Structure 1
């Protein structure tokens, strides 16, 4: 059955291809709703916060992932399980961004605006990868 409520952002795909953007969106939405403590192992959230967070997280994952993690009722456990499964993809953007940077040519674009857009997209990827690599050290 399709989700009846509107999603705030794209649900996590079963392949995990959108995991990086999903994690950032999920963290931001949990923070905005006062539920960030539910995915922080050092904090002790209330039962109500846990319930709201698990509903929110389950609402924003693919149906197949929902059925796979059906028995998990703690948002921190679900968060960590998804992290263990998909977190390796943090390093995937580096070769892609490096390739895009090396092969970026103005003549491949119809306008300077399109070129600038591609340039900023690549530089954002590179900055993100550098931040991730610094965190991993």
Structure 2
């Protein structure tokens, strides 16, 4: 077989596989849309008998290392980060030796302060009494 014939066969095979993949994807999207529609209809048919509750089994806690990482990551944003009532901004590129007085193995409780629209304005971390096991 000549080189051109081989390339034509490879190209035709690629086109057929591409079309088959597109049709397979379209089938999955159609099936997913039907499933979502059935779920919506089933939920609407319950007429308020379905109630959702928010349960938080344990308050979220961060380690000191996570607090330090958060302070470094939030620098350059409009979000203010406080640790035990003191605000910190650390630019790791400008001052590599800057630190935040946290205990790396300590536990900190986060407090997320948002405005009326739900936009995050400030994150406050408060030291807990216990240590990470």
Scaled by the length of structure 1, the TM-score of the pair is 0.20
The structure in which a higher percent of residues are helix is 1
Of the two, which has the highest radius of gyration?
A: 2
Scaled by the length of structure 2, the TM-score of the pair is 0.21
The structure in which a higher percent of residues are strand is 2
